[in-house]
Amino acid sequence: MKKLSARRRHPLAAVVVLLFALAVTGGLYAAFAPAESAKADDTAQSLAIEEGKKLYSVGCASCHGTGGQGTSDGPSLVGVGSAAVDFQVATGRMPLQQQGAQAPRKKAIYTQAEIDQLAAYIASLGAGPSVPTKNQYSPDGADIAKGGELFRTNCAQCHNFVGKGGALSNGKYAPSLEGVNPKHIYEAMQTGPQNMPSFPDTTMSEQNKKDVVAYLDTVNSDKTKSPGGLELGGLGPVSEGLFAWVFGLGALIAVAIWVAAHTAKAKKS
């Protein structure tokens, strides 16, 4: 304590205090910020549980119209198929919280049973791609190398080599595919949610889709191997450059300061 008090008038004391204050503020913000979104989920969960159309008329009809015919606030849902409903609702994109460049992925507010009921209702409005079966998207019997080639031809231009996501125009973006359920990836290819183009079975066969899903499972899941070490976000040279500057050159400068500094003298003033 005495040491501390002796140094409180050191020329660098102000800098240290400032850094400390910044760290505390940042830490407190990080600690409290997520709490709010959790509250929102609670209210969402308290939504009444009803079936199919009932669910639709409560949660969806205000934008998509009472019969699913669409309004100025939301597209028609006739013929989008159950796969589209499962994708949009189970990934939390729908119902939309607010209008924006695009609907973000968030925590789903309907249970899978409710989603299935909703999907059945929408599917009854007009034929469309249906929710894939587990067999369709499981990696068994898939050709991973072919999946990689298909991914680079059809997907990587927006979602990056290993599905880390990327920017589109005017604030839109292709989301990261990290931690996305293979079923939802399959559905996204089938239905083309929002600005993503669709890849229907007629141009990208079921086997093709299975290969793509299997490739993603290999290169972007929690069991993905990164032999060289930290992936640095899988974003390529930008994050590598940042790492080289901060940790590479930063560490070297720290070492250089040690090398060049004068050794402590015996007599402390």
Partner 1 sequence: MSSQDIPEETLPSKQGDAHQGVAATSGDPFADPGIPPHEPRIQDIDERAAQRSERVVAFLFLLSMLATVGFIAAYVTLPVDKSIYVFPIGHISALNFSLGLTLGVALFCIGAGAVHWARTLMSDVEHADDRHPIEADPEVKAKVMADFAQGAEESTFGRRKLLRNTMFGALAMVPLSGVVLLRDLGPLPGTKLRKTAWSEGKMLINQNTMQPLRPEDIAVGSLTFAMPEGMKEEDHDFQQEIAKAALMIIRLQPENIKDKRELDWSADGIVAFSKICTHVGCPISLYEQQTHHVLCPCHQSTFDLSDGGRVIFGPAGHALPQLRIKVNDKGYLEAMGDFAEPVGPAFWERG
Partner 2 sequence: MSTTDNRRKAPAGERVADWADGRLGIYSLAKANMRKIFPDHWSFMLGEVCLYSFVIIILTGVYLTLFFHPSMNEVVYHGSYVPMQGMHMSEAFKSTVDISFDVRGGLLIRQIHHWAALIFLAGMFVHMMRVFFTGAFRKPREINWLFGFLLFVLGMFTGFTGYSLPDDLLSGTGVRFMEGAILSFPIVGTYISMFLFGGEFPGSDFVPRFFSIHVLLLPGIMLGLLVAHLILVFYHKHTQFPGPGRTNKNVVGMPLLPVYMAKAGGFFFLVFGLIAAIAAIATINPIWAIGPYRPDQVSTGAQPDWYMGFAEGLIRVMPGWEINVAGHTFVLGVFIPMMIFPLVLAAIAVYPFIESWVTGDKREHHLLDRPRNAPTRTAFGVAWLTAYMVMMIGGGNDLWATHFHLSINAITWFVRIGFFVGPVLAFIATRRICLGLQRRDKDKVLHGRESGIIKRLPHGEFVEVHEPLSQEQLHTLTAHEQPKPLELEPEVDENGVARKVGATRKLRVKLSKGFYGEGTHIPKATAEEYHEITSGHGHH
Interface with partner 1 by CB under 8 A: which residues?
150, 153-154, 157-158, 166, 168-169, 172, 174, 192, 194-200, 202-205, 208, 223-231, 258-259, 262-267
262 is in an annotated binding site: no
Write the binding mask 183 to 222 for partner 2: x where contact by CB under 8 A, - elsewhere.
Answer: --------------------------------x--xx---
Distance CA 113, CA 195 (A): 27
CA distances from 7 to 2, 50, 262, 265 (A): 9, 66, 20, 18
Please say which residue, 70 or 243, places its beta carbon nearer to partner 2.
243
Minimum distance of partner 1 from residue 17's CB (angstroms) = 30
Contact in structure between 89 and 115 (CB atoms under 8 Å)? yes
DSSP class of residue 204 equals: S
Contact in structure between 239 and 181 (CB atoms under 8 Å)? no
Q: What are phi and psi of 74, to 5 degrees?
A: -160, 145
Question: What is the three-class DSSP state of 105?
Answer: coil
10 is in an annotated binding site: no
> Binding partner 2 by CB under 8 A: which of 74, 128, 129, 148?
148
Rule CB under 8 A: say whether 152 interacts with partner 2: yes
> Binding partner 2 by CB under 8 A: which of 1, 6, 11, 266?
11
- For residue 117, how many C-alpha atoms fall within 13 Å in the half-sphere facing its CB? 15
H helix or E strand, kind and range, residue 121: helix 112-125
Would you give the distance in Å from CA 261 to the centre of its chain? Answer: 46
Q: Note the residues at the interface with partner 2 (CB under 8 A).
A: 8-9, 11, 101, 144-145, 147-149, 152-153, 156-162, 164-171, 173-174, 215, 218-219, 226-232, 234-238, 240-245, 247-249, 251-253, 255-257, 259-262
Output the known binding site for heme c: 60, 63-64, 155, 158-159
